[in-house]
Amino acid sequence: MQRTTRTTVKRHPERGVYDAETIHAILDAGFLCHVGFVYEEQPFVIPTLYARMGDKLYLHGSPLSRMLQPVEGGLPLCVTVTHLDGLVLARSAFHHSVNFRSVVVVGRGQVVTEKAEKLAALSALVDQVVAGRSAEVRGPNPKELKTTQVMMIPLEEASAKVRTGPPLDARPDYALDIWAGVLPLRLEALEPVPDPTLTKAMPVPEHVQQYQPRSNKDLA
């Protein structure tokens, strides 16, 4: 994993993390990213699903998507992933903050053309959202595969930024009679709702019934 001028954290540099293990863990804890790119001199930021396989990040969408157009040498992209872990409530408005884990990946996205890699990436995208789901559902047929584009971004240039802990107030403000602390936040899965078009009653699959958002793991 390269640490470059593009990925070095400048605002609060003490929060920057550059090892692959941390970056991979933050990516693996989520499935929604925001992708920044420039198309015909207009910047765009698009939310989309992603999956990590080894040292590669995969995105998917329609071949008509501006984000997924084949470009010689690869399309320059910036991918961000953020997990919001808590609201940090300080004694002053200025020192309010949030506890979070985030990753920024920069690189050139390449359209995946090899069929086996494309199928593996699409299965990984399903499992990134709900682990074990791809083994239970029908895979893409030839028409669906043709109308789905997959893009790969190498995880070569990336960094993480993490904030944890209580508010950091100005020293005189610690004497103020104002409550301060952290309001932890978690993503919650609710009771599954069956599709009303199911032809018969059937049990909710274990991977759905026991689903726990991975972004909540390892939180105090």
* Whether residue 94 has pLDDT greater than 70: yes
What distance in Å separates the CA atoms of residue 48 and residue 34, rounded to the nearest whole number? 6
Task: Name residues whose C-beta falls within 8 Å of residue 44's C-beta, 6 or more positions apart in sequence.
Answer: 36, 37, 38, 66, 67
Helix (H, G, I), strand (E, B) or coil at 195: coil
What is the reported pLDDT for 219?
A: 47
For the entire predicted model, the pTM comes to 0.90
pLDDT of residue 220: 41
Mean pLDDT to the nearest integer, 146-165: 95
Tell me 126's DSSP state.
H
Contacts of 184 (CB under 8 A, 6+ apart): 85, 86, 99, 219, 220
Q: Report residue 218's pLDDT band, with 50, 70 and 90 as the boundaries.
A: low
Architecture (CATH level 2) of domain 13-170: Roll (2.30)
Q: Which residues contact 217 (CB under 8 A, 6 or more apart)?
A: 29
pLDDT band with cut points at 50, 70 and 90 for residue 69: confident
Q: Which residue has the tokens 């274990």?
A: 206
Are 81 and 69 within 8 A, CB to CB? no
Cα–chain-centroid distance for residue 155? 13
* Domain locations along the chain: 13-170
DSSP string over 4-72: -TTTS--SSGGGEE--HHHHHHHHHT--EEEEEEEETTEEEEEEEEEEEETTEEEEEE-TT-GGG---T
Q: Which amino acid is at 49?
A: L
The predicted-structure confidence for 35-58, as pLDDT tens digits, reads as follows: 999 988 899 999 999 999 999 999
Q: Please say if the pLDDT value at position 131 is more than 50.
A: yes
pLDDT tens by residue, 162-214: 999 999 999 999 999 999 999 999 999 999 999 999 988 889 999 999 898 88
